[in-house]
Structure 1
Amino acid sequence: MSKFMYLYKGPARPMDQFTPEQSAEQMAVWRAWMEKLGPAMVDFGTPFAARTAVADDGLAADASDLNGYSIVEAENLDGAKALTDGHPYLSEASGKFTLEIFELADM
């Protein structure tokens, strides 16, 4: 089994802009997906908050619209992709949000 990182990318609304009710609703949807994965969910991860970027010339750069991460375990890249079925981040079906998947290499 290998570990894979999901990186969430898109114009997501920051968590601090949700009402307590909206936050609870969102967390319930995420928990349901996470429970569906069972032991394949290695690290639920966290949303990203404040951000900045620095370019290789030392100057400030525009930070990307990455919004958080999770780590799952699967046999291969196709298996990690299959685990995204029903993922809450992909539920809008607008084409504005992507979930990038990277296999974590052994060092």
Structure 2
Amino acid sequence: MTEFIVLYNAPKSAQDKCKDMSPDEMSKMMEAWMKWAENCGEHLVDMGSILGNGKHLDTSGSTSSSSEVGGYSIMQADNVAKVEELLKENPHLKMGDGFHIEIHEKMPLPKC
């Protein structure tokens, strides 16, 4: 099976609102995520994590990242179509405008 990196994107303003969720709101949201994870079965290799405090690094130095990436998961399947199918029910897509998911296939490194 091929592995895929799944990136969860959201506007910075929405990410900030999530930080202020009540424990009950957070619990309800996590229940939806756990149900989705269970439905993925062996296709979910790593649930991943929330990401924050990103840095943008280039030859000039580093600054705070303006990226909208707020989390990731690692999935595996025979093809990207299966991953897309499993992600259709992902709670992230139901969180509001501007929330979206990117899927990237892990490619093998070239042999030297």
TM-score of the aligned structures, taking structure 1 as reference length: 0.87
Aligned to 1:45: 48
Q: How many residues align?
A: 106
Which residue is 1:89 aligned to? 92
Summarize the Cα distance change of 1:54–1:27 in structure 2 as closer, same or farther, 3 Å threshold. Answer: same
Distance 2:83 2:102 in 1: 11
- How far apart are 1:8 and its partner, in Å? 0.7
More helix by share: 2
Structure 1 counterpart SS, 2:26: helix
Instruction: Tell me the C-alpha RMSD between the 2 structures.
Output: 1.8
Structure 1 stretches lacking a partner, 5+ long: none
1:104 aligns with 2:83: no
Contact residue 9 and residue 99 of structure 2 kept, 8 A: yes
1:16 counterpart residue number: 19
Residue equivalent to 2:75: 72
